[in-house]
Structure 1
Amino acid sequence: MFGEKLIFIILCYIIISYYYEKSMSFSVAIVGLPNVGKSTLFKALTKKPVAIANYPFTTIQPNKGVITVPDERLTKIAAVIHPEKITPTTIEFIDIAGLVKGAHRGEGLGNQFLAQIRNCDAILLVLRGFSNPDVENVLQEINPQKESAILQLELLMKDWEVLENIIKKLEHESKTKDKLILKKLNLCQKIKEELNKEKMISEINLTEEEKAMLKEYQFLTAKPIFYLLNTNHQTKTDLPQPHLTLNLKEEEELSEMSAEELKELNLNLYLDQLILACYNILDLITFYTVAGKKEARAWTLKRGLKCPQAGGIVHSDFEEKFIRAEVIPWQKLIEAGSWTKAKELGLVKIVGHDYLVQDGDVIEFKI
């Protein structure tokens, strides 16, 4: 009886994991030293109440929040289609507890926190650029470049440690002379040489085949990184690209105000820039469906995928039973004024299995 229950649970997990992956959900880990403003940022982004304190390790278990991606194009499409419902695409942010020097060796629960980053698609490194005697500074100085170097080294050292174990395992398995295993072993040895030079995996010149081969290992330094300087406008510094400078305390306070209040006071909230920046470093595109007039919806897709794969995100039948699709760039739909008018003007094109979906495409799948 217990065995049957266990098999059922495993099958459910496999099915859920499959559909989670198919749904093209993407997540960004908010990473930094303690007390740099990570939880403040998370609260401003998600409007969720989280524990924020002036001492290290207020956060132990990661906070998670799903955020809608700002999209003026979807608003304009809806204005033309007049749907019953509008559904934007989303991205998940995960507030990871503060890392410290030596995290890869387990310092400050570092192994636990680094493992939480592994499951994310991108990393948002938050760096401290503000002085506040009431908020403990674990670095004892305002030095964003030094913080960045510490965090990058911790990610790199953790990858090196994981890579060592992978190589040992592959060396043992390579005795079978399996060609794929030998190829993986050679690649991992190449990666190790570059890590020894303190080079991030994302900085190594790899082929698409090699990148695909490494994907299963979820290396931390293979993930795209965006840098955010949390400043009170007193610190100016050169940071790696891409980066953004924000006062997160101000952003948190502004996020609690309504759109009307912000407009009345002529204030701007810059968090949308950050959300879009994280979306962009993942090399994602957005396509749209209009489902008659029931729903105008934005969908997230990895750049370079074909029409049936996009259809599979909407519904598995649209991939498995795909015949063709009708496609129009969103601007042309707006100019035409309606889907029907766009078809009359010959602006809607018929595409097949090999069509590469473009950012901003409005698609109707046919099965």
Structure 2
Amino acid sequence: MEAGIVGLPNVGKSTLFNALTSTQGAQAANYPFCTIEPNEGIVTVPDERLRRITNFIKPQKVIPTYLKLVDIAGIVKGASEGQGLGNKFLSHIRQVDAILQVVRCFEDDDVIHVAGKVDPVSDVETIETELMLADMQTLENALPKAERSAKSGDKEAKVRVAAIQRCQAHLAQDQPLRKLEMPPAEAKEIASYGLMSAKPILYIANVDESDLHGTGELASAVRVFAEKVGASVVPVCAKLEAELAELEEPDRSEMLESVGLAQPALSLVAREAYRTLGLQSYFTAGEKEVRAWPVPIGATAPQAAGVIHSDFERGFIRCEVYSLSDLEEFKSEKDIRQAGKLRTEGKTYVMQDGDICHFLFNV
């Protein structure tokens, strides 16, 4: 699973990406399209539950989950028609699982805004429109082939035609596809098209140092818009986060305290991006390691086991499960078992966020 960082040029995308992935290097030039080929990086998803588990189980190492991030070049109005190398950049978005849109919510005369003025809602709408226009083109190109196959009696093609037409009607109402509920069979048939306005989205309000909590007028406008489309907003001062990323402890903690933050805002970005991707974590815990594993919300125990190794899923027998609250109450796995709190779950068990598991399998 990976998320693409998008936005108009000069909104702080690459600064944020570098801070998230702790990438050091020369500062990007202040002009559009300084990012051309997408940069890729890995970011840790902070999880306080790992520390709490290690209060009772002392491992040799602790391993959090990670996200893959892709820094995609700035998109401009007309991208769906090829403006600003738009077709190439949009193809990069088509390949990711979720979109993190950085929105400029700060004034700075030294940083050029591609539209000539700072208007975050207009910026959000510009990119949303380009994604929808690109999806319209994709569907328009796909429909004739699907119709020909449907006429020949292909049942799957008939479902595909219905799905395409349903999407076209929704887009014609100026609504992104992520707000469209589709029958599972239709959703499956068009999944390969990589429709961009169907992807879940998280807005990152890039604020200045006077509005770190995003309560100012510009960030608040993004919040109002996000509520209408069912998305979340995380306020981040990319400039400050870039400075924090270069510091070692305890200098980082001292700087956070001086600006009134309990933790780097990038921790919130990582966790919200994880949630936007539809992921949750379960844990394995032993003397060798305590580890968080990513799993889609709604995944069954065998599917979760498969995240560790495909053999675990193929030969799944059962899963032994307990919770962090059980561990904190009884202090050890042995005592959890003796208290009858260690649950045995089968193939139909749906994983819960924070489950601590042992998988039994045979291949």
Partner of 1:17: none
Give distance in 2, aligned partners of 1:342 and 1:28: 38
- CA separation in 2, counterparts of 1:196 and 1:341? 60
Matched, 1:42 2:37: no
Q: Indicate which of 265, 272, 296 corresponds to 1:277.
A: 272
Aligned residues of 2:318 and 2:344 also touching (Cα < 8 A): yes
Equivalent residue in structure 1 for 2:249, among 254, 259, 264: 259
Q: Distance in 2 between matches of 1:35 and 1:325?
A: 49
- Classify the secondary structure of the residue corresponding to 2:56: helix
Q: Does 1:146 align with 2:122?
A: yes
* 8 Å contact from structure 1 (residues 130, 235) kept in 2: no
| Match of residue 334 from structure 2 | 340
The answer to whether the aligner puts 1:322 opposite 2:298 as a matched pair is: no
Query: Match of 1:72, as an amino acid?
Result: E
Superimposed CA distance per residue, residues 70-110 of structure 1 (whole angstroms, 9 cap, x where no aligned partner): 00111111221101111111111111011111111111111
Structure 1 residue 211 displacement after superposition: 2.9
Task: Report matched runs for 1:44-59 at 5 Å.
Answer: 44-49=19-24, 51-59=27-35
Contact 2:322-2:342 at 8 Å conserved across structures: yes
Deviation at 1:235, TM superposition (A): 4.8
Q: For each residue in 1:303-328, what CA deviation from the matched residue of structure 2 results, as whole angstroms up to 9, or x when unmatched?
A: 11110111111111111111111011
Distance 1:253 1:361 in 2: 36
Trace 1:57-96 onto structure 2 (pairs within 5 A): 57-96=33-72
**Secondary structure, in 3 states, of the residue corresponding to 1:141?**
coil
Cα distance, 1:146–1:264 mapped onto 2, change above 3 Å: closer
* Corresponding residue SS for 1:251: helix
Structure-1 residue corresponding to 2:237: 247
| 1:256 maps to amino acid | E
Q: What is the letter of the counterpart of residue 49 of structure 1? A: Q
Provide Cα deviations, 1:24-60, integer angstroms capped at 9, x if missing partner.
xx21111011101000100110111255121111111
| Superposed displacement of residue 151, structure 1 | 0.4
Question: 1-side partners of 2:6 and 2:254: how far apart?
Answer: 34
1:1-367 equivalence runs, <5 A: 26-49=1-24, 51-232=27-208, 233=211, 235-236=217-218, 237-239=220-222, 240-241=225-226, 242-265=232-255, 266-267=257-258, 268=261, 269-290=264-285, 292-367=286-361
Cα distance between partner residues in 1 of 2:70 and 2:328: 36
1:334 CA displacement: 2.7
Does the 8 A contact of 2:18 with 2:242 survive in 1?
A: yes
CA distance 1:264–1:146, change in 2 (3 Å): closer
Shift of 1:63: 1.1
The CA distance in 1 between the partners of 2:19 and 2:174, in whole Å, is 34
AA in 2 matched with 1:280: R
Amino acid at match of 2:247: M
Runs of 4+ in 1 over 6 A off after TM superposition: none
Check conservation: 2:159, 2:185, Cα contact below 8 A. no
The normalised TM-score by structure 2 is 0.90
**Farther-moved stretch of structure 1 (54-63 vs 255-264):** 255-264
Matching residue of 2:229: none
Contact 1:336 1:342 survives alignment (8 Å) = yes
In 1, distance between residues paired with 2:80 and 2:23? 30
- Provide the TM-score with structure 1 as the length reference: 0.89
- Counterparts of 2:31 and 2:177, CA distance in 1: 33
Look up the equivalent residue of 2:330 and give its one-letter code: A
Residue 333 of structure 2 aligns with an amino acid whose one-letter code is W
Q: Is 2:159–2:189's contact at 8 Å kept on the other side of the alignment? A: no
Q: 1:15 matched to which residue of 2?
A: none
